[in-house]
Structure 1
Amino acid sequence: MGQPAARLKLTEPNYIPVAAEEIPAVELAPGATLRAVSGSEGARVSSLTGVMLAMVELASGSSATLPAPAGRSVFFYTVRGAARIGPDEVPEHHLAQVGDGEGVEVSSDSGCLILYGHADPIGEPVVAHGPFVMNTREEILKALQDYQNGVFGDPAALG
């Protein structure tokens, strides 16, 4: 498992502009293309936590095995069209979490676009409230207080 994410809570935000044409395409199978954005060899974005994120496009009637190393949490979201994971359909605009394994068998009868990713399990408590994600309720309350006092986002002012 990777490093705990809690250590990165106050990391300086970073934006990396990447145009679609800058994302390399890899043909997984006939009619199946993967464009890795982060966490993969050749990806344009380096992930602080090792998250692999890609766009996968399947043509009508195509299928492929998506990479999913054992021990990682795997998900995909159908952006356009419907996909199948084995016998199960994932309709358009739905998120699917996939069990552990060495690959994900995916297919599409009419073609689809999938946001696909995998990452090490977080392995620590997660508490979310509005836009804030922390490890404890107390940290959430502190973040809300800091935001209301105008000091949120200033690492020197946060305690």
Structure 2
Amino acid sequence: MRVARVVDGRASSDGDGVKLTRVLEPELAALIDPFLLFDEFRSDTAADYIDGFPPHPHRGFETVTYMMAGRMRHGDNKGNHGDLSPGSVQWMTAARGIVHEEMPQQEQGLMWGFQLWVNLPAAHKMDDPAYQDIAPERIPEVQRANGVQARVVAGSFAGDDGTPVHGPVRGRPTQPTYLDLTVPAGQTFHWTAPAGHTVLVHGIEGEFGVGPDAAPLRPHRMAILRASDTASVLRVQAGDTPGRFLLIAGRPLREPVAHYGPFVMNTREEVMQAVQDYQAGRF
């Protein structure tokens, strides 16, 4: 697999002033289909995150929050509540509409995590909302003989014996893969991407070379790759120190994207309807 583009994150903010690094945004939807947005929030300064993400709406897609450190509390207007602790994942399907909040459960210390937006196909945008709160112990881990370690959130990953280990998130329409990978210094990671899937590689720690041209990857940088019509192999080479990265992949929808703030639909008219429905309290 070859790298189509490398994107460096930029300083931004969201919610009630939470400072974050925005790596992907919906303006790149055609290139990163079925994904829409990717943020990293990381700070040990309470003022950067303490006001959190007060109640806000979503329609038409899924949000995936992966916590690395700190604690966030989730609540929504469907009666769901969850505690996002280190190593946990929240996979929320907003679908036809949900109003939720994510608020810090700490007043000091490191708050660190990632949020990914995954688009929904037109046929599922008006489904009932759904919510998965996945505790750290539910996420399986796999280690290969060369020292590569993987946490499998979605999709599957095989150990040296070739037996696939499946993540707890299944049955999503974009057939997502979400892996948290640690690679020893100098080692090479290989993974076979499903035919046609878009693949994202996001640097967390260390430096890597991605693809046959060894495109440089480092923290806060993402490599975007396009799989061919047949299964193709992703190659990631670690540098002189151990490294860690996220591997995210999914089946492109190849549908029009109409985006306005927290609403992602297929047409401008559908977005306008989402705004009207939210203002009328129909979420």
* TM-score, with length taken from structure 1: 0.82
Give the residue type in structure 2 aligned to 1:103: V
Q: How many residues align?
A: 149
Alpha-carbon displacement from aligned partner over 1:102-146 (angstroms, at most 9, x marks no partner) = 111002212222221221111111121111111011111111122
Distance change >3 Å, CA 59–CA 73, structure 1 → 2: same
Query: Contact 2:197 / 2:227 at 8 angstroms: preserved in 1?
Result: yes
Which shows bigger deviation, 11-20 or 82-91? 11-20
Give the corresponding residue for 1:157: none
Provide the residue aligned with 2:180 in structure 1: 55
Preserved contact between residue 203 and residue 217 of structure 2 (Cα < 8 Å): yes
CA distance in 2, matches of 1:112, 1:35: 14
For 1:42, the equivalent position in structure 2 comes to 166
Counterpart amino acid of 1:42?
H
Alignment equivalent of 2:270, drawn from 122, 139, 158: 139
Equivalent residue, structure 1, for 2:206: 81
Q: Which amino acid is the alignment partner of residue 189 of structure 2?
A: A
Residue aligned with 1:15, SS:
strand
Q: What SS does the corresponding residue of 2:236 show, helix, strand or coil?
A: strand
Instruction: Please give the alpha-carbon distance, in whole angstroms, between the structure 2 residues aligned to 1:123 and 1:31.
Output: 37
Amino acid at match of 2:271: I
Structure 2 residue runs without a partner (length 5+): 1-119, 157-164
Amino acid at match of 2:252: P
Q: Write the distance in 1 (CA, Å) between the matches of 2:217 and 2:148.
A: 17
1:107 correspondence with 2:234? no
1:95 to 204, 222, 242: 222
Q: Secondary structure at the match of 1:10?
A: coil
1:125 aligns with 256
Taking a change above 3 Å as real, the CA distance of residues 5 and 29 of structure 1, as seen in their structure-2 partners, is farther
Match of 1:156 in 2: none
Which residue type is aligned with residue 220 of structure 2? H
Question: What stretches of structure 1 of length at least 5 have no aligned partner?
Answer: 154-159
Q: Distance in 2 between matches of 1:28 and 1:103?
A: 17
Tell me, in whole angstroms, the C-alpha distance in 1 between the residues paired with 2:132 and 2:187: 32
CA distance in 1, matches of 2:215, 2:183: 16
Which residue in the other structure is 1:26 paired with?
142
Larger strand fraction of residues: 2
Q: Is the 8 A contact 1:28 1:65 kept in 2?
A: no
**Alpha carbons of 1:27 and 1:103: their partners in 2 closer, same or farther (altered >3 Å)?**
farther
Q: 1:37 to 1:133 in 2, by over 3 A?
A: same
TM-score relative to the length of structure 2: 0.48
Conserved? CA contact 1:74–1:98, under 8 Å? yes
- Report the equivalent of 1:68: 193
The equivalent of 2:69 in structure 1 is: none
- The residue that corresponds to 2:124 in the other structure is 8
* Offset at residue 79 of structure 1 (A): 2.6
After TM superposition, the structure 1 stretch with the greater mean CA deviation from structure 2, 20-29 or 92-101, is 20-29
The answer to whether the 8 A contact 2:204-2:218 is kept is no
Q: 1:126 to 1:29 in 2, by over 3 A?
A: farther
Detail structure 1 runs of 4+ shifted over 3 Å in the superposition.
Answer: none
